[in-house]
Amino acid sequence: MAAKEIGIGLIGMGTVGTGVVKILRERGDTIAARTGLRPVLRQVAVRNLGQMREVALPPEMMTADPQAVIARPDVDIVVELMGGYEPARTLVLKAIESGKHVVTANKAIIALYGQEIFAAAREKGVLVYFEASVGGAIPILAALRESFVANEIRAIFGIVNGTTNYILTRMTEDGMDFGEALAEAVRGGYAEADPTLDLEGIDAAHKLAILASCAFGIPVDMEDVYVEGISEVCPQDISYAREFGYVIKLLAIAKEAGGSIELRVHPTMLSRHHPLASVRETYNAIYVEGDAIGKAMFLGRGAGRMPTASAVVSDIVEAILRSREADFQAERSLYWNRKTIQPMSEVACKFYLRFPIVDQPGVIGKIATVLGSHGISITSVRASLVEMTTNAGHVEMLTHRAGEAAVQQALQEINALPVMRDKSMYLRIEE
């Protein structure tokens, strides 16, 4: 018997959309053989109809009007791969209102408007799938929502942005210039259309919000996620970190802390013995700690055409299968927990501190006195002279666990000391 056709409408055929079209063409028969249902591409919306494309489709399949894709009666699943906040959010809501299931890789709209989107979908009785929005090919959201459902998740540490991991890898391993490494990531199709979203940690923060909702069941207001990007990480810090036995990674951290949840994205000095320290290039990895599973790590391609398209097509197949079940409205809830998000000022961790100083007697004592007055205890100190004639030097310190608020206050006071040549620099440490 011929497999029943399921109509797919695609909005966006750029890096990921092109991969989805390729997979649907090449794997249509296999999917039909495995599921008895065949996803068939009905129409594709793009911005610029005149653009040359790697995959050629008949002109009548292409449109510049995404609403037309949604409105087609033969489209059962709308796949949103245009990216950005608007009009993507409005189009997804429109698709839901029109009774279509939705698959998206758009972490920005899921992180910011997830509650609105899932409420609309529940009311309309349609499905919204978004596995590709975090970790590309890595099935981390399914793992958190399904495989680990029996666990209390304690912590998640993720390298979830391929672009910044690529830049930090190139800077660390080849001493490559920041701009050159970014240009390579853009050429590879890994960076966002606006790469500041990658560099400033915003893309990672969107993914962290989604991870936290899946792992801890909390709705996340993006304003409550602490975000710091990698644009201030300099080669000097990378080499100092190496000397202390650390690597610098942009980590997305969600941690249970005394009944509330810490949510933060920032460049982190990570012990070189930590499993995440060896995650290089555009690879992503998510390290999960749960009460029953103990520790688990997921590694894979977090960005790029085919890895991301693989996750999108898997969501399409999942949506097709699930929608055939009689009780498919009984979905796994995302927001079932009432835990609150811990303010960043209450977070505590170890710190690496670097003070650009004028080298003179007593300078270390002056800095240590301020730190001590805020209850910050030092585990290691190193001083070096960088310029003999001006006596310019650096003092670097590692601290015991210290409160974020205390450290920020102490650094402000230290920055005002006459021995300082420039403002102090800090990195948070995870072992």
Amino acid at residue number 7: G
d(CA 257, CA 180): 39
Residues 193-232: x where in contact with ligand HSE by CB under 6 A, - otherwise, as a string: -----x----x-----------------------------
* Residue 116 CB-density burial (10 A; 0-12 exposed, 13-18 middle, 19+ buried): middle
Q: Which stretch binds ligand NDP (CB under 6 A): 40-48, 117-125, 165-173, 323-331?
A: 40-48
Whether residue 229 contacts residue 201, with contact meaning beta carbons closer than 8 Å, is answered with yes
Which of the choices ligand HSE, ligand NDP, none does residue 161 contact, using the CB cut-off of 5 to 8 A by kind? ligand HSE
> In whole angstroms, how close is the CB of 339 to ligand NDP at the nearest point?
28
Whether residue 111 contacts residue 134, with contact meaning beta carbons closer than 8 Å, is answered with no
d(CA 386, CA 383): 10
Going by their DSSP bridges, the two strands 392-399 and 378-387 should be labelled as antiparallel
Whether residue 251 contacts residue 226, with contact meaning beta carbons closer than 8 Å, is answered with no
| Number of amino acids touching ligand HSE (CB under 6 A) | 11
Nearer to ligand NDP, 77 or 238 (CB): 77
Q: Is 157 helix (H, G, I), strand (E, B) or coil?
A: strand
d(CA 350, CA 98): 51
229 contributes a contact to ligand NDP by CB under 6 A: no
**Contacting ligand HSE within 32-71 (CB under 6 A):** none
163 contributes a contact to ligand HSE by CB under 6 A: yes
185 contributes a contact to ligand NDP by CB under 6 A: no
**Contacting ligand NDP within 306-345 (CB under 6 A):** 308
Which of the choices ligand HSE, ligand NDP, none does residue 411 contact, using the CB cut-off of 5 to 8 A by kind? none
Q: Is 337 helix (H, G, I), strand (E, B) or coil?
A: coil
Closest residue to ligand NDP using C-beta atoms? 14
> In whole angstroms, how close is the CB of 308 to ligand HSE at the nearest point?
7
161 contributes a contact to ligand HSE by CB under 6 A: yes
Q: Which stretch binds ligand HSE (CB under 6 A): 138-146, 170-178, 184-192, 218-226?
A: 184-192
Which of the choices ligand HSE, ligand NDP, none does residue 214 contact, using the CB cut-off of 5 to 8 A by kind? none
Nearer to ligand NDP, 12 or 114 (CB): 12
18 contributes a contact to ligand HSE by CB under 6 A: no
d(CA 337, CA 385): 52
131 contributes a contact to ligand HSE by CB under 6 A: no
Q: Which helix (H) or strand (E) holds 191?
A: none
**18 DSSP β-pair partners:** none
d(CA 203, CA 221): 15
Neighbours of 83 (CB within 10 A): 21
> In whole angstroms, how close is the CB of 188 to ligand NDP at the nearest point?
9
Residues 274-313: x where in contact with ligand HSE by CB under 6 A, - otherwise, as a string: ----------------------------xx----------
- Cβ-based neighbours of 83, under 8 Å, separated by 6 or more: 12, 14, 105, 106, 108, 192, 193
Place of tokens 């489209």: 75
17 contributes a contact to ligand NDP by CB under 6 A: yes
| Number of amino acids touching ligand NDP (CB under 6 A) | 28
Nearer to ligand HSE, 140 or 410 (CB): 140
d(CA 250, CA 237): 14
> In whole angstroms, how close is the CB of 112 to ligand HSE at the nearest point?
15
82 contributes a contact to ligand NDP by CB under 6 A: yes
Q: Single out the residue of 113, 130, 157, 190 in contact with ligand HSE (rule: CB under 6 A).
A: 190
Neighbours of 170 (CB within 10 A): 20
Whether residue 134 contacts residue 207, with contact meaning beta carbons closer than 8 Å, is answered with yes
Nearer to ligand NDP, 252 or 349 (CB): 252
Which phi and psi (to 5°) does residue 430 adopt? -125, 135
- Cβ-based neighbours of 324, under 8 Å, separated by 6 or more: 37
Would residue 255 show up in a list of annotated catalytic residues for this protein? no
Footprint of ligand HSE (CB under 6 A): 136, 161-163, 190-192, 198, 203, 302-303
Q: Which sequence positions are flagged as catalytic?
A: 207
Footprint of ligand NDP (CB under 6 A): 12-17, 45-48, 51, 66, 81-83, 87, 105-107, 132, 136, 189-190, 192-193, 303-304, 308
